[in-house]
Amino acid sequence: MAESIGGQAVIEGVMMRNKNILAVAVRNEKGKIIVKKEKIKLFTGILTWPFIRGIVAFFQMLVIGIKTLTYSSNIALNEDEKLDSWGIAGIISLSFVIGIGMFVLVPYIVTYFMGFNETTEPVLFNLIDSIIKMILFVAYVAIIGQVKDVRRVFQYHGAEHKTVNCYEAGKKITIQNVKKFSTIHPRCGTSFILLVMIVGIFVLSLISPLAMLFSSFSLLPFFVQKIILFFTRILFLLPIAAISYEILKLAGKYKDNVVLNAVNYPGMLIQKLTTQEPDNKQIEVAIKAIEKVI
């Protein structure tokens, strides 16, 4: 069986990773494909245990993402437009804060004002909350997908998936072969985001009942209770991410499992928005990246 290769789209390029080998291929302004290959740290011991490894992987990929985006932007852009790691980190940090506001705070407030009670109806409250999150997320992706530069990133995302699918099918990795495969892949980060929302329905429903076990909590002012519950939701994102990561790995390993496919299906649908059909040159970049890690 082929190794589990993952990756991501970057600016005018693709990053591929196979275990501790990482490669980034980027097409510069002159049309030349520049490829960078490096080894990364593999964690051992307790950090590789199920449910812990998902949290470790999340933070590791965040760091790798910053580095690869910095590298790709500096290869693809003009000298005057180059960014450093701090610039990319600042953009990602700002995006994270905006994301928390848009996809955590706004659904939480809207659900409350719709009349749902987090304390007496925790499952229903979080079901509505997650539905609102999904609607906002789909709308957001659909809107930014209309931007030319973002659409090109989505095309490289599609090239990444097609190339990995071709490799995992055991076919020779050529442009013509890669073009035959789907832009959808079960281990995609888009699927991960949707899984987080679905798993969150059940995990976040535990917060209010647990809080009510403390008699002092019910004595707090209403506004203070809501602040505590909201920030607890943010803390719970880590265990939710850990559970979602394990489900995503299983979905990638057992592609014919009906239950796992059903759970992963919403994320697969959203990939139709976050991936676009690439052209031959974009596929060529993805091939250069995967060749360096297999």
Which tens digits make up the pLDDT trace of 48-69?
999 999 899 888 888 898 889 8
Residue 1 reports pLDDT greater than 50 = no
Report the pLDDT value the prediction gives residue 76, as an integer from 0 to 100.
Answer: 85
Q: d(Cα 219, Cα 94) in Å, to the nearest integer?
A: 35
Asked which of 55-64, 154-163, 174-183, 284-293 is least confident by mean pLDDT, the reply is 55-64
Q: Is residue 113 part of a domain?
A: yes
Q: Which structure tokens are listed for 205?
A: 């429903």
Mean pLDDT to the nearest integer, 215-224 = 90
Angle made by CA atoms 239, 59, 136, in degrees to the nearest 5: 65
CA distance to 30, 94, 115, 168, 248, per residue, from 163 (Å): 24, 32, 47, 9, 19
Q: d(Cα 72, Cα 86) in Å, to the nearest integer?
A: 15
Report the pLDDT value the prediction gives residue 88, as an integer from 0 to 100.
Answer: 74
Q: d(Cα 65, Cα 275) in Å, to the nearest integer?
A: 18
Report the pLDDT value the prediction gives residue 85, as an integer from 0 to 100.
Answer: 66
How high is the mean pLDDT of the chain?
91
- Higher-confidence residue of 177 and 2: namely 177
Instruction: Name 24's bridge partners.
Output: 15, 36
The total domain count for the chain is: 1
Report the pLDDT value the prediction gives residue 83, as an integer from 0 to 100.
Answer: 65
Q: Is residue 240 part of a domain?
A: yes
Which tens digits make up the pLDDT trace of 225-261?
999 999 999 999 999 999 999 998 888 788 788 888 8
Its domain, for residue 202, covers 6-291
Mean pLDDT to the nearest integer, 14-33 = 95
Mean pLDDT to the nearest integer, 40-50 = 90
Report the pLDDT value the prediction gives residue 218, as an integer from 0 to 100.
Answer: 86
Highest-confidence segment of 3-7, 76-80, 140-144: 140-144
Residue 289 reports pLDDT greater than 70 = yes
Other Cβ atoms less than 10 A from the Cβ of 294: the count is 13
Q: In what order do the strands lie in the sheet with 33-39?
A: 6-10, 13-18, 21-27, 33-39
Q: Is residue 147 part of a domain?
A: yes
Contact assessment for residue 205 and residue 122, using Cβ atoms and an 8 Å cutoff: yes
- Percent of the chain surpassing pLDDT 70: 96
Residue 161 reports pLDDT greater than 90 = yes
Contact assessment for residue 222 and residue 201, using Cβ atoms and an 8 Å cutoff: no
Closest CA to 294 of 164, 202, 184: 164
pLDDT band at 90 (very low <50, low <70, confident <90, very high): confident
Q: Taking the model in full, what pTM does it have?
A: 0.89
Q: Is residue 1 part of a domain?
A: no
Closest CA to 245 of 20, 81, 61: 61
Contact assessment for residue 260 and residue 247, using Cβ atoms and an 8 Å cutoff: yes
